[in-house]
Amino acid sequence: LDEDDFKRVNFFAGAGPMETTVRLLTLLEQAGSTMKSSTCRVLQPVFDEAARKRIAWAHKTAPSNSTGSEHRPLHYALFCAHVLRALSLFEVDQAIRKYREIRGLPKEWDILAMIDQNGCRMLAKKPLRGTMMGVAPVPGTEAYFLQQLLDETFKEVYTK
């Protein structure tokens, strides 16, 4: 392992085994149950506590990371909170504020949506109104004018 791979392995190992929890949730869903059902609801406090521990770990670990990667423990902790279905915790709100501060993200960005749609990548894609089934823009809409602008400013350059 090179130094970056070693850091990455230690980053995930330092927070504990999420694989067991993910496997448990997968088995519950395959059995047709959800965390909201009366039989599984007793597990939610356990998952909430696990999310709290991950966030505490992230707050403790983040300052010791190298410059530019201070956000990684918080990113992982927020992803874990999403997997554990514990996004409504107060600690998650605090972690989101800290994550936004460290990354310098605008207040308008919905971090919960970024976690919910694609937690491991922190990406939220909003549908663009004015497209026909996401394929072609409808004339007269914002999507149409944006596509027209892109088409008119595109310049093909051929190289050898």
Give pLDDT tens digits for 59-116: 888 776 667 778 888 888 888 888 888 888 999 999 999 989 888 888 888 888 888 7
Q: Quick one: pLDDT band at residue 11, thresholds 50, 70, 90? A: very low
Say whether pLDDT at 39 is over 90.
no
- What is the model's pLDDT at position 1? 45
- What is the model's pLDDT at position 15? 44
What's the per-residue H, E or C state across the chain?
A: CCHHHHHHHHHHHCCCCHHHHHHHHHHHHHCCCCCCCCCCHHHHHHHHHHHHHHHHHHHHHHHHCCCCCCCHHHHHHHHHHHHCCCCCCHHHHHHHHHHHHHHCCCCCCCHHHHHHHHCCCCCCCCCCCCEECCCEECCCCHHHHHHHHHHHHCCCCCCC
Global pTM reads: 0.65
